[in-house]
Chains A and B, each alone.
Chain A
Amino acid sequence: MIKEELIAKMNEVLAEEFEVEVEAITPDADIKKTLELDSLSLVDMVALIEDTFDIKIDGQDVSKIKTFSELYDFVNEKVNA
């Protein structure tokens, strides 16, 4: 999967799950603020990404990620590992 496809897919599923406009998801935006994630809902994002890209990721790693561009890089590395 090329990275542009991954980014488009990621933005689409995140916007749908967390009920935000897809335009609100920009590379430098803060993930938790944009998607209104609290400590309870972070695991929903982890589960959604795992399901969408058929990968396993560590929740500890994800909780350290701040922006969408960092998230794209992190998931891209896992998908193309």
Chain B
Amino acid sequence: MLRDIDARELIPQREPILMTQTLYEASGNDARTGFVISQDNMFLEDGHLSEMGVIENMAQSAAATAGINTYINGEKPVLGYIGEIKKCIFHRLPEAGETLTAEVHYISEAAGVVLYNISSHTENGPCAECRMKVFLEK
């Protein structure tokens, strides 16, 4: 089992749109990531992370999960794009200072597209859930 990997080792996104920080642990094709929402985050609106910020956190968490094998092989992170978002429900938009945790669950993959179920929460409760396809550039 892998633990506490810097997300920058897994995905090519950087500031100001690096929206996940640490892959806490990975097991099989699933993983859990963490992200402390800073006061100067580009997706903050009236002190809350916007829906777009919440989605981007889930997307980068999924891309980081998909990037584990590349990391293990000692290769540079590949570009991953959102292919599709489905059944995305927002429960609560977190505030700056909270730690956003994303749980990424692998479902299937075909033709370079990986399908995940993802949910996110902070210490103050659930934030969002969705089914997402991530397209990986090979």
Contact = CB atoms under 8 A, between A and B. Distances in A.
A39 B111 contact: yes
B2 interface: no
Which secondary structure dominates chain A's binding surface?
Answer: helix
Interface in B110-138: 110-115, 133, 135
A59 B112 CA distance: 9
Interface string A40-81: 101111110010000000011011000000000000000000
A64 B84 CA distance: 23
Contacts of A43: 108-111, 113-115, 133
A42 B109 CA distance: 9
List of 9 A-B pairs having minimum Cβ-Cβ separation, nearest first: A59-B110, A47-B108, A43-B110, A42-B110, A46-B108, A46-B110, A43-B115, A59-B109, A43-B113
Given A39-B113, A59-B108, 14 more contacts: A40-B84, A40-B113, A42-B110, A42-B113, A43-B109, A43-B110, A43-B111, A43-B114, A45-B110, A47-B107, A50-B107, A59-B110, A59-B111, A63-B110
